[in-house]
């Protein structure tokens, strides 16, 4: 796989080429995912749940994300490595600049932030300071206590319009990519068509430019709760390499997610 950059993903969008992404937390899995042609790897604050056993992502620290980012970057030198900025690590633009620098020095090529219009100054400032930004709208897990749980967002017309407006504002502020989580498929399609930057969905239907899963959901390793948008590829394909390759291929062909994985 050639080196993947933000320009590569922008070209994929222009060409109508769908792409897959996965979370990764260590060098060995990162290498396996890169070998299966997964172009984007996210060091997600999901590690607080799937690695540390917490009920949410709020305890994860910048130092922990940086450690896992170094591991993933070592194992997947060609993939685009994206790192989550944890809860309250970007509450002010100045904190965002300092903590993003830590993650970029650890090997990230992009950072991901959860939130809408209140982040516009931060997104502009990071972009001006040479830090590519992926925005994240819809279900933003760091806001779980505000939402009252992990709930689908954008179900009413007003809520959908607000998410669409925020997506446009974030693109104008300089965001180079957008993740949409747990929103109705029709809304995700409208946002993907309205933006020129790539849109990656998780629980957002099949019409986004890319799809991302938490690696533990791909491999059927759960603590009992299986999200609607998850699919156990390991059970179907028997090996991690085959499961990952099947996921990548189904995303490219537009076969995943199906209606059963969407809202």
| pLDDT confidence of residue 144 | 76
pLDDT value of position 12: 98
Is residue 45 a known part of a binding site? Answer: yes
For residue 223, what pLDDT is reported?
Answer: 65
Find out whether 15 is annotated in a ligand binding site.
no
Given the residues 181, 236, 250, 260, select the one marked as catalytic.
181
Which residue from 201, 156, 197 is spatially nearest to 180, judged by alpha carbons?
201
pTM above the 0.75 mark?
Answer: yes
223 annotated binding-site participant: no
- Is 78 labelled a binding residue? no
Residues of the chain with pLDDT under 70: 147, 149, 223-224
Q: So what's the pLDDT on residue 156?
A: 96
Tell me which CATH homologous superfamily contains domain 6-261: Phosphoenolpyruvate-binding domains (3.20.20.60)
181 tagged catalytic: yes
Q: Which two tokens stand for residue 249?
A: 């291929």
Quick count: other Cβ atoms within 10 Å of Cβ 240? 18
Q: What is residue 168's predicted lDDT score, i.e. its pLDDT?
A: 98
Q: Is 217 annotated as a binding residue?
A: no
Maximum Cα–Cα distance for the chain, whole Å? 47
Q: What is the pLDDT of residue 147?
A: 66
| Confidence (pLDDT) at 145 | 74
Terminal alpha carbon distance of the chain: 33
What pLDDT is recorded for position 226? Answer: 80
């Amino acid at each position: 796989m050639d080196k993947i950059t933000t320009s590569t993903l922008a070209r994929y969008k222009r060409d109508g080429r769908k792409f897959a992404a996965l979370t990764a937390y260590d060098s060995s899995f990162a290498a396996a995912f890169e070998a299966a042609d997964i172009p984007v790897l996210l060091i997600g604050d999901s590690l607080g749940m799937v690695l540390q056993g917490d009920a949410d992502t709020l305890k994860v620290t910048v130092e922990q994300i940086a450690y896992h980012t170094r591991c993933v970057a070592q194992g997947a030198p060609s993939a685009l490595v994206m790192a989550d900025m944890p809860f309250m690590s970007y509450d002010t633009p100045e904190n965002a600049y300092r903590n993003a620098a830590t993650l970029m020095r650890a090997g990230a090529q992009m950072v991901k932030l959860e939130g809408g219009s209140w982040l516009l100054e931060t997104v502009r400032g990071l972009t001006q300071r040479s830090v590519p930004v992926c925005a994240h709208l819809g279900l933003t897990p760091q806001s779980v206590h505000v939402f009252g749980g992990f709930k689908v967002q954008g179900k009413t017309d007003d809520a959908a319009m607000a998410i669409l407006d925020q997506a446009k504002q974030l693109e104008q502020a300089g965001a180079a990519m957008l993740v949409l989580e747990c929103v109705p498929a029709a809304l995700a399609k409208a946002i993907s068509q309205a933006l020129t930057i790539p849109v990656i969905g998780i629980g957002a239907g099949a019409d986004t430019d890319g799809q991302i899963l938490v690696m533990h959901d791909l491999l059927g390793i759960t603590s009992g709760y299986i999200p609607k948008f998850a699919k156990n590829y390991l059970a179907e394909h028997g090996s991690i390499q085959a499961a990952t390759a099947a996921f990548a291929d189904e995303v490219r062909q537009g076969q995943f997610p199906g209606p059963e994985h969407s809202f």
